[in-house]
Amino acid sequence: MIASPREQEPKLGSYLRVERNDHTVLVQLLIESRLGTNGLIVNPCHIARHEELVAEAGRQGVETVLDPRSVELSTSVGLGLSGVADLPWAPVAPHTPDDLGGPAGLLLSEEIVGFAVKEGLSAILAPTHILGGADDPWLQVDSALVRDLRRALDGQGRAATPIYYLLVARSALFRDKEFLGRLVTVLADLPIDAIWLRLHPFGTTTSGPVALRNYMDVCRALHAVGVPVVGEYTGTVGLPLLAFGAVGGITSGLTLGERFSLDRVTKKSSGSGFAPPPRVYLQSLGVFVSRDEARQLFEQRGMRSAHACTDAACCRRGAVDMIDNPRRHFVMRRDAEVGKLSRVPPQLRPTVYLDEMLRPASDAAVRAEKVLPDLQRSRRRLDSWRATLGAMADGHAEATRSPVPTGHRRPNS
Ligand SMILES: [Zn+2]
């Protein structure tokens, strides 16, 4: 029997970044067998708190990806973030390329692998650093770290554990074609199973038409490496990136963290240090609002029928549950969105995204904006995506496509 295209295509990748208070809802969804996410990104600073979640995810075959926080460990602000300095592999002063260029790099890799093995984690983000250009010494040092990590994993009997290369840089840097070319050459030679892209600044609220097109161009250049590209901190803009094949997977925070800024690790924050409260995802618009704004919206005539969740498994009491348990609602809706795109053949995904997701969202935003004027910005953004992506869809057939992450080593990596 010939498999239909639908059966041949693996599900697009979707990972969740688990912050301090996110574990309860995820354990619940796992127990109910309702977590459709490929994997969870494990923050080692919270490992004791998240032990039960990690164990249950492992039992159910959900990937658990260790983020060793190497970016934070290489800046003084990052090292000062909660829990980072207490990691077993944390240095006294921020890591520099000189620190990790020699045997210390192997030691770091061994410590990270030891942790992943002890905690039963299924994949590792390579302990890479912020790249400043083609001549940045970190590029060489990080390449050696990836090889050390592979050796350390193999030495621990974990030859099947994939390594994902974390690529952190300022978006503007990619205008330098020499940098991009060198990067592709270096990465193609490394034993990596995916590239996770963390660009500054990028995300839903910073994605004007030019940023969106440039991001897609960077992804397409990286396709030459031959591994899946995963867009980190993309937020809702991750959906068109998946639909257009620029990335094969996305990561999302549980209602927070839909944009990335290096400021978090380079600038002292005046914030309280406490995590902000979760926000309510309006799936009909692809935007987050505060709980108060959600209440205000749903009080208006016609807004419940337009925006309340109708999935009884997700929010039995509709709008009430969206506000009551915004994390659960978000996780299930994001799974549904990624699932919807996954179910159609790749060449049709841009059309499905534009016609069935983006256009209804930008139309509905016109009315919702009358109740919540702050939504005007979101509506304008949706309109700009519509124009940009509509134009891109015409040339889509010839564009390269990222492979989809599978959670396994790729052959010959
Ligand atoms: Zn819901």
308 compared with 258, residue with greater pLDDT? 308
Rounded to the nearest angstrom, the distance between the alpha carbon of 56 and the centre of ligand 1 is 23
Instruction: Encode pLDDT of 1-49 as tens digits.
Output: 344 444 567 899 999 999 999 999 999 999 999 999 999 999 999 999 9
Residue 78 scores a pLDDT above 90: yes
Q: Record the tokens describing residue 119, joined without a space.
A: 């905690």
410 compared with 172, residue with greater pLDDT? 172
Cα 263 from Cα 170, distance rounded (Å): 11
Q: Which residue has the tokens 């935003």?
A: 365
* Buried-state track 145-160, b at ≥16 Cβ within 10 A, e below 16: bbbbbbebbeeeebee
Q: Which residue has the tokens 């002292």?
A: 268
CB atoms within 10 A of CB 50: 24
What is the reported pLDDT for 5? 45
Rounded to the nearest angstrom, the distance between the alpha carbon of 311 and the centre of ligand 1 is 6
What is the reported pLDDT for 275? 74
Rounded to the nearest angstrom, the distance between the alpha carbon of 304 and the centre of ligand 1 is 13
The DSSP secondary-structure symbol of 72 reads G
What is the reported pLDDT for 104? 96
Q: Name the pLDDT band for 82 (thresholds 50, 70, 90).
A: very high
Rounded to the nearest angstrom, the distance between the alpha carbon of 365 and the centre of ligand 1 is 19
Average pLDDT over residues 207-217: 91
Rounded to the nearest angstrom, the distance between the alpha carbon of 331 and the centre of ligand 1 is 9
Average pLDDT over residues 143-147: 98
Least confidently predicted of 22-26, 144-148, 172-176, 264-268: 264-268
pLDDT over 90, % of the chain: 86
Report the relative pairing of strands 287-289 and 280-282 from DSSP bridges.
antiparallel
Rounded to the nearest angstrom, the distance between the alpha carbon of 319 and the centre of ligand 1 is 8
Rounded to the nearest angstrom, the distance between the alpha carbon of 157 and the centre of ligand 1 is 42
Q: Is 191 left (phi over 0), alpha (psi -120 to 50) or beta?
A: beta
What is the reported pLDDT for 4? 46
Rounded to the nearest angstrom, the distance between the alpha carbon of 92 and the centre of ligand 1 is 45
Rounded to the nearest angstrom, the distance between the alpha carbon of 33 and the centre of ligand 1 is 16
Report the relative pairing of strands 130-131 and 123-125 from DSSP bridges.
unpaired
Rounded to the nearest angstrom, the distance between the alpha carbon of 69 and the centre of ligand 1 is 32
Instruction: Encode pLDDT of 357-400 as tens digits.
Output: 999 999 999 999 999 999 999 999 999 999 999 999 987 778 99
What is the reported pLDDT for 306? 97
Specify which residues 14 forms β-bridges with.
250
Q: What structural domains does the chain harbor?
A: 10-266 (3.20.20.80), 280-396 (no CATH)
Rounded to the nearest angstrom, the distance between the alpha carbon of 374 and the centre of ligand 1 is 22
Mean pLDDT of the chain: 94
Rounded to the nearest angstrom, the distance between the alpha carbon of 277 and the centre of ligand 1 is 18
Cα angle vertex 235, ends 200, 23, to 5°? 110
The answer to whether the CB of 210 falls within 8 A of the CB of 202 is no
Q: Name the pLDDT band for 273 (thresholds 50, 70, 90).
A: low
Whether the bond between 201 and the residue before it is cis, its omega within 30 degrees of 0, is yes
Rounded to the nearest angstrom, the distance between the alpha carbon of 308 and the centre of ligand 1 is 8
Cα 112 from Cα 80, distance rounded (Å): 20
Rounded to the nearest angstrom, the distance between the alpha carbon of 294 and the centre of ligand 1 is 13
Long-range (24+ apart) CB contacts under 8 A made by 175-178 are 176/133, 176/134, 178/134
Q: Can you say how many angstroms the Cα of residue 320 is from the centroid of all Cα atoms in its chain?
A: 28
Cα 63 from Cα 67, distance rounded (Å): 13
Residue 307 scores a pLDDT above 70: yes
Q: Name the pLDDT band for 141 (thresholds 50, 70, 90).
A: very high
Average pLDDT over residues 59-66: 98
Residue 413 scores a pLDDT above 50: yes
* Buried-state track 264-297, b at ≥16 Cβ within 10 A, e below 16: bbeeeeeeeeeeeebbbbbbbbbbbbbeebbeeb
Rounded to the nearest angstrom, the distance between the alpha carbon of 283 and the centre of ligand 1 is 9
Rounded to the nearest angstrom, the distance between the alpha carbon of 323 and the centre of ligand 1 is 9
Rounded to the nearest angstrom, the distance between the alpha carbon of 285 and the centre of ligand 1 is 14
What is the reported pLDDT for 394? 84
Instruction: Write out the H or E segment, with its range, that includes residue 311.
Output: none
Residue 406 scores a pLDDT above 90: yes
What is the reported pLDDT for 2? 43
Q: Is 252 left (phi over 0), alpha (psi -120 to 50) or beta?
A: beta
Rounded to the nearest angstrom, the distance between the alpha carbon of 243 and the centre of ligand 1 is 22
**Burial category of 41 from C-beta neighbours within 10 Å (exposed 0-12, middle 13-18, buried 19 and up):** buried
Q: Record the tokens describing residue 341, joined without a space.
A: 């795109």
Rounded to the nearest angstrom, the distance between the alpha carbon of 289 and the centre of ligand 1 is 14
Rounded to the nearest angstrom, the distance between the alpha carbon of 177 and the centre of ligand 1 is 44
Rounded to the nearest angstrom, the distance between the alpha carbon of 315 and the centre of ligand 1 is 4
Rounded to the nearest angstrom, the distance between the alpha carbon of 321 and the centre of ligand 1 is 7
